[in-house]
Amino acid sequence: MARRQAVTAWLFLSPAVVFFPLMFFLPIGSQLNAALFGGVTSSEYVGAGNFTRALADPEVLHSFLITLGFAAGSLVVGIVLGLLLALVLNQSLPGRTLFRAVILIPYLTSISIIGLLWRNILDPQVGILNRLLDAVGLPGQAWLSTHPLATIIGIEVWATVGYTMVLFLAGLQGIPEVYFEAARIDGAGPWRRFLHLTLPLLAPTTLFVSIIGVIGALQQFALPYIVTGGGPGNDTSLYAHRVFRVAFNDNQFGYASALSLLLLVVILVLSVVQLKIGDRTHDGA
């Protein structure tokens, strides 16, 4: 009986056992090989040279730092806005289903379309946003020139906040109503109920949103590529965009592979740290 269960279990697992090594671990191994041998087809062993070079490369450090800024900004603003929207749209309001759907639409839209859309909206001369500002007597802004990273963060939040809202809505609806009734009977006001009930009970959702958000933000490529081309200067050349440029502009696939692997390590470490913090918070709660 145990043997039959084991066979059934392995049968269930086998798609993943085949898929993950083939589509993830093998390419990662290939990346490592390219990093150690200086390129995809190179046979010259360079060892850790590409990795040490990356750690001393000011351009890489710059792109990494602005990527951290991008991740932090989009995560914090995205979580706050997503939670606020979820709290509002969790109420019995007329038309709330429609609002939920509308807010989710950007998340369902192709990132290429979002990039092109915002590039046109934000154009200082012919963009609709400056036209609107002009119509109400406000001066036009060169958003992508004066605050390029903040603008890219804004677009990212706009595109993903619907998904964050849905996750928080699911989390909110999973909290038993009896907790809130008990708190009300004990005299807790809305703010105390939010602070001492809602927030702690949403911790698993917040953790999930954080991990997914950080991973997505650190890997962000399409927005700077489409909206700003990494500019002006290198102000929006996020890490993944930098890796792309090293590979396809500079033709240095070995170095680009090393940069990719370093990003993988950073993402793994950050994810583990977040999980540990989440575990501790959960235990504490």
Partner 1 sequence: MYSSLTSSRLSRRAALRLGLGTTVLGAVGAGAACAPVTPDTGGGQGEGTFTIYWNAGHAYDAYQQVIDQFGKDHDLVVNWQKFQWPDLTTKLVADFRSGNVPDLVEEPGTASIQYGVQGNVMALDDLAANTDIGFPDDFLPESILARQHEGKTYAVPLHLTANGLLFYNRTMLADAGFDTPPTTWEEFREVALGTTRDDVSGFAVNSDYSYSAPWYLQHEVTFASVEDGDFLVPRERGDEVYEFLQRLVHTDHVSPAPVATTDYSGPQKLFSAGRAAMFLTGPWDLGPVRQGSPDIDLGVAEPLTGTVQASSMAGAGLMIPTQAKDPELSWELVGRLTALETELAATAATGMSMPRRSWADSPEVAGDEVLSTVAAAVGLVRAESTELAARGVQTQVNDLFKAAYEAMIIQGRPVAETLDGFREQARGVLG
Q: What residues line the site for partner 1 (CB under 8 A)?
A: 8, 11-12, 14-15, 18-19, 22-23, 40-41, 119, 122-126, 142, 144-145, 148, 225-236, 244-245, 247-251, 253
Q: Which is nearer to partner 1, 7 or 269 (CB)?
A: 7
**Backbone dihedral angles phi then psi of residue 58, each to the nearest 5 degrees:** -65, -30
CB of 133 to partner 1, least distance (A): 14
Q: How many residues does the chain have?
A: 285
Nearer to partner 1, 23 or 178 (CB): 23
3-state helix/strand/coil string of 20-31: HHHHHHHHHHHH
Q: Is 29 exposed, middle or buried (0-12, 13-18, 19+ CB in 10 A)?
A: exposed
Q: What is the largest CA-CA distance in the chain?
A: 78
Closer CB to partner 1, 5 or 92, in the complex: 5
Q: 58-90 burial string, b = 16+ CB within 10 Å, else e?
A: eebebbbebbbebbebbbebbbebbbebbeebb
**Rounded to the nearest whole angstrom, what is the least distance from the CB of residue 143 to partner 1 in the complex?**
9
CA-CA-CA-CA torsion sign (275, 279, 280, 281): positive
Cα–Cα dist 132/144, whole Å = 17
Closest approach, Cβ 248 to partner 1, in A, equals 5
Residue 9 C-beta: closest distance to partner 1, Å: 11
Rounded to a whole number of angstroms, the minimum distance from the CB of residue 12 to partner 1 is 7
Residue among 134 and 279 whose Cβ is closer to partner 1 = 134
Closest residue by Cα to residue 250 from 266, 237, 269: 237
Question: Minimum Å distance from CB 118 to partner 1?
Answer: 11
Closer residue to partner 1 (CB): 12 or 179: 12
Residue with smaller CB distance to partner 1, 164 or 260: 260
Positions of E strands within 168-262: none
